[in-house]
Amino acid sequence: MQSLQLARAIVYIVRCADGTLYTGYARDPQKRADVHNNGRGARYTAGRRPVRLVYFEACGSAGEALRRECQVKRWSRMRKEALIAARGLRPHAAS
C-alpha cells in the first residue's frame, strides 16, 4: 500500500446515517465524503446523509482502485465491518 501523498486513487468506505456502508474510490476520500454529504455524490448516499468516512486505502492507479472497489463491494457486510475494525479510521478522543 502506498502513502496517501503518492496514491493516484484511494478506495474508501463511508457509513451512512442509516448504518449502511457505501464503497467507492476517489483521489481525496475526505473531499468525496463532503460531496456525498452535500447531496452531489452517489444516488445511494443522497438519501442516507450524513455519511462518515470510516476506511480508506491507497492504490497505485485508478485501475487498481477500481478493481479493489469492485472486490470490496462484493464482500458481505460482516467482512467489510471486519476490515473497518482492523484497519479503519479511529475517532479522535475528545480533549
**pTM of the full predicted structure?**
0.87
Q: What is the mean pLDDT of residues 1-23?
A: 83
pLDDT at 91: 58
Q: What is the mean pLDDT of residues 48-52?
A: 96
Let me know the angle formed at the C-alpha of 81 by 20 and 35, rounded to the nearest 5 degrees.
45
- Architecture of the domain defined by 9-87: 3-Layer(aba) Sandwich (3.40)
Q: How deeply is 87 buried, as exposed, middle or buried, from its count of CB atoms within 10 A (0-12, 13-18, 19+)?
A: exposed
